[in-house]
Chains A and B, each alone.
Chain A
Amino acid sequence: DTAVSQTPKYLVTQMGNDKSIKCEQNLGHDTMYWYKQDSKKFLKIMFSYNNKELIINETVPNRFSPKSPDKAHLNLHINSLELGDSAVYFCASTTQISGNTIYFGEGSWLTVV
């Protein structure tokens, strides 16, 4: 009964590869996010989608491309991976009805070698 689920949980890949992380929420929320947590444990928003539309696109390289096929899914595709992309990526969701509580996924550990 995982509310926000991400796959894969762990991903080790070589520089230059293209990879995707998938996210699904079964909470009926209308807003989804991608966050990046760096080695210093600082969480930083990357993208925010509301009803499948991009709301926030923080300063991230255009190698990162989010895709929201429907309200329940927000996938993150990364092209030409670089060493600095190694981090934990968290998907999250919320809705006004939940009092703006944000529910996070368990994270996807990306290591670029």
Chain B
Amino acid sequence: KNQVEQSPQSLIILEGKNCTLQCNYTVSPFSNLRWYKQDTGRGPVSLTIMTFSENTKSNGRYTATLDADTKQSSLHITASQLSDSASYICVVPRTGANNLFFGTGTRLTVIP
């Protein structure tokens, strides 16, 4: 059973609009949660890492939130751009970086 679930599976939005991607996890013990962006035909690139004590972290137009009590995280994208079209993957390590659980990703398409 996958311990990291993401929703929606895919999303299409108009350029300039905002969107929110969801990640629920059951990985335990929890140390941190990561969001990666994977452009088509490319490798995943780290957007943010959130530790247990962090509720919100921003990286430009990307803002990630974490609720360790409900084991949920969200990635909010503001004023979307065409270049935001990609898969966004939620990743949760169990202990350290050597054992990672990947979500299946949300495929975001931004259209003009």
Contact = CB atoms under 8 A, between A and B. Distances in A.
Contacts of A103: 46
Nearest to B51: A99
B97 A102 contact: yes
Interface of A: 4, 31, 40-45, 48, 50, 55-56, 90, 92, 94, 96, 99-107
Interface residues of B, number: 21
B97 A107 contact: no
Contacts of B104: 40-42
Given A45-B100, A55-B98, A99-B49, A104 B44 contact: yes
Q: Which of A96, A102, A106 has the largest number of chain B CB atoms within 10 A?
A: A102
Nearest to B102: A43
Contacts of B97: 31, 94, 96, 100, 102
Contact of A56 (B42, B44, B45, B98): B98
B23 to A, nearest CB: 14
